[in-house]
Amino acid sequence: MRGRCWIRSGNLIGQEITAQIKLKLDSRCSNNQAEQLAIIKALETIESVNTLDNSPRAATVFTDSRITLDSLYNGDNHAYLINEIMKRLSRLEGTKCKIEFSL
């Protein structure tokens, strides 16, 4: 299966799918890296959603990667993709957007 690593990321608002992406990854990409990249892509899409009144908003990111979630809550993990997720979360917080993660 080498060379056939894919991620899919989708965004819902209410019950409506608002965005979907599918990316082919390098064969050297690990499953954890694929999960982390999918989270980054989901956060990028959330960042791009504009609200008319700039009111506070919330979003839930669903993932099945316990390892990634543990890494996000572990301040000692400085892996590149984890840092990218943390940067995006910080930016979203600055725009009054609360992000939660769910398994």
Looking at residue 11, its pLDDT comes to 57
Distance, CA of 67 to CA of 23 (rounded, Å): 21
pTM: 0.79
Cα gap 6→8, rounded to integer Å: 7
CB 71 within 8 A of CB 33: no
State residue 2's pLDDT score.
43
In the chain, where the domains are located: 31-102
State the 10-residue block means of pLDDT for the chain, 103 residues long.
Answer: 49 63 78 90 83 77 90 89 95 90 87
